[in-house]
Structure formats: structure tokens, C-alpha cells
Structure 1
Amino acid sequence: MAEASKPDTSSIDDIQKALEKQIADLRKEVAKINKSISERGAELVADAEDQASGTYDSAAARATRTAQQLRTQAHAVSEAARENPGTTTALVGMIGLLGFLAGMAVGQAMNDTPRRWY
């Protein structure tokens, strides 16, 4: 009987060694996959950073151009107002009157009880 148990033990040892080798191989493959995923993730992050940087630079350039145009137009308006003070006063007065009338109309429309002007 002792001879019968030896072949069983050696085959079990062989199976165990084969399984351990397969597990070690699987661990190596998982490590390779993890490394590949990590590298790809780093590439994606770098691409996203480049794209965000480009977008920011483009937006900053547009904002600078827009601010310059607004300054130029504001300067032109202020020059026109300085050259024509009477017209400017009349225009501001008309805008104020129109705003007052619009406010009155909105106030009357929001009021629940109708009022008449006598």
C-alpha cells in the first residue's frame, strides 16, 4: 500500500506545481494588463490636458480681442457724447422717460385692481 500512495502523492505534487505555475503566469499577465491600462490612462490624461490648455489659450485670446474692441467702441461713444452734449442729454432723457413709462405699464399690469387715471 505504501507504493500505491507514492504515485498518488507525486501526481498531486505535479498537479499542484502545474497550478502554481499557471497562477504565476496569470499574475504576470494581469500585471502586464494593469501596466498597459495605466499607460493608456496617462496618455488620455495628457491628451485631455493638451486639449484643455489649447481651449483656454483660445478663449483667453478671444477675450483679449473682445475687451480691446469694447474699449475702442466705448472710447468712440464717449468722444461722440463729448462732441454733442445737447444730443447726448436729449437721448439720455428720452431713454429715462421710456424706462419710466415701461415701469408704469408693468406696474399696472401686475396690479390686481384696475385703476383709472382721472
Structure 2
Amino acid sequence: MADNETGIANPASGNGKGTTSAARNRGASRRGAQTSGASEAALKRQIAELKREVNRLNRMLSDQVEEAAEAGHGWFQSATDRASDLYSGASDRASRATRQLRSQAHSVSETVQQNPGTISTAVAIGGLFGVLIGLAIARGSQPEPDWFHRWHR
């Protein structure tokens, strides 16, 4: 019996010598439960940190998108202002050119009405010069035909 007492602990004595495997398993399972509880808590903390980081990144992204939208709106407004200024300037120049052409056409028509003979003579002489210049250009650019050389030999 002496061997039996040294190998197995007496539950009443509580001295802890030679604990049974069941007691060891209970202690290990408590430590495992504490360890798993600690790791669960650590995972929960990491998940909470990740959620805060994602929220912070979402806020940063939202701010950057808002800034980009404001910059785009400013650029668009600037471009429309410049286009409006260019259109206004072009419109003013076209209006002045139209007025000037109208006044010149009016003065030419008055001159024609006051001097019909002079204008018709000038147009006829201009047409005649145009025909002569056209003939000279056409004759200079074409070689003389072969039949013309046969008769002059």
C-alpha cells in the first residue's frame, strides 16, 4: 500500500504530490480556456483597430474626393469663363467687321449708282485683261503641237 500512496495524491490532504491525469487535464483546459479567451480578446482588439483604421481611411478618401470635386468645379468654372470671354470678344470683332463691310458695300453701291458707265467700262476692261492673262498662261504651259512644226520646216 505504500507504493499506492506515493503514486496517487490524497484528495483530502491537498499536498499536490503526484496529481492524477484528470486533474492535470482540468488545469490544462483552464489554461487553454484562459489562453483562448486572451487570444479572442486580442483578436477582438485587432478587429476593432482595423475597423477604426478603415473608417479613418474612408474619411480621408471622402475628403480627397470632395477636394477633387471642388477643384474640378473650379477648373470647369474657369474654363467656361474663359470661353465666354473669348466668345464675347469674337462676337464684338465679328460685329465690327460686319458693320465695316456693310458701310463699304453701301459706298460701292452708291458709286455704281452715280457712275454706271464708268463701272461697266472698268468691269469690261478687267474681264478682257483676265482673258488675255489666262490665254498667256495656257499657251506658255503647253508645248506646241507636232503638226505646227511640220509646216514650219
TM-score normalized by structure 2? Answer: 0.67
Matches within 5 A, 1:1-118: 1-108=32-139, 111=142, 113-115=143-145
CA radius of gyration, larger in: 2
For the structure 1 residues 15 and 108, does the alpha-carbon distance in structure 2 shift closer, same or farther, using more than 3 Å as the test?
Answer: farther
| Runs of 4+ in structure 1 over 6 Å off | none
Shift of 1:105: 3.9
Amino acid paired to 1:66: A
Amino acid paired to 2:124: G
Identity of aligned residues (%): 30
Considering Cα pairs closer than 8 Å and 6+ residues apart, tell me whether 1 or 2 has the greater RCO: 2
Return the alpha-carbon distance in structure 2 between the equivalents of residues 108 and 31 of structure 1: 79
Amino acid paired to 2:69: S
Which sections of structure 2, spanning at least 5 residues, go unmatched? 1-31, 149-153
What value does the CA root-mean-square deviation take over the aligned residues? 1.9
For the structure 1 residues 109 and 26, does the alpha-carbon distance in structure 2 shift closer, same or farther, using more than 3 Å as the test?
Answer: farther
Return the alpha-carbon distance in structure 2 between the equivalents of residues 10 and 79 of structure 1: 102
Which sections of structure 1, spanning at least 5 residues, go unmatched? none
What's the CA shift string for 1:84-116, capped at 9, x where partnerless?
2222112111221222233334444565x5357
Return the alpha-carbon distance in structure 2 between the equivalents of residues 108 and 15 of structure 1: 97
Residue aligned with 2:144, SS: coil
Return the alpha-carbon distance in structure 2 between the equivalents of residues 88 and 8 of structure 1: 109
For the structure 1 residues 105 and 21, does the alpha-carbon distance in structure 2 shift closer, same or farther, using more than 3 Å as the test?
Answer: farther
Higher fraction of helix? 1
